[in-house]
Amino acid sequence: RHGLLDPAEAASHRPHQRFEHAAPNDLWQMDFKGHIPTDAGRCHPLTVLDDHSRYSLGVIACGAESLGVVQGHLSGLFRRYG
């Protein structure tokens, strides 16, 4: 509206397409968010998110990024949310 965008250049770009599953519980995303040093050692925050609703299913302070730790927390989330 202020003449700062070239219409031809703008038309050559596609709008952002959001990745989202069609229904709740189709896909959960999980990720460790680095680590935080504490007096008791390192804390590894694990986040679990429902891809459809963007609902945060869990933000969990883990003592390690290991299979056993993650499986234990995921089992609890599966019991709670399906």
Q: Can you spell out the DSSP letters for 9-49?
A: HHHTSPPP-----SSTTS-EEEEE---EEETTEEEEEEEEE
Q: Do residues 30 and 78 lie in contact, with contact meaning Cβ atoms separated by under 8 Å?
A: no
Taking the chain, what is the end-to-end CA distance rounded to the nearest angstrom? 49
The pLDDT confidence band at residue 44, using thresholds 50, 70 and 90, is very high
3 within a domain of the structure (yes/no): no
60 within a domain of the structure (yes/no): yes
Residue type, 38: T
30 within a domain of the structure (yes/no): yes
Residue-level pLDDT at 58: 97
pLDDT for residue 19 is more than 90: no
More confident residue, 10 or 65: 65
Structural domain including 69 reads 16-81
Question: Domain count of the chain?
Answer: 1
9 within a domain of the structure (yes/no): no
61 within a domain of the structure (yes/no): yes
Residue-level pLDDT at 12: 86
Closest CA to 49 of 28, 34, 32: 28
10 within a domain of the structure (yes/no): no
As a whole number, mean pLDDT of residues 24-50 equals 95
1 within a domain of the structure (yes/no): no
21 within a domain of the structure (yes/no): yes
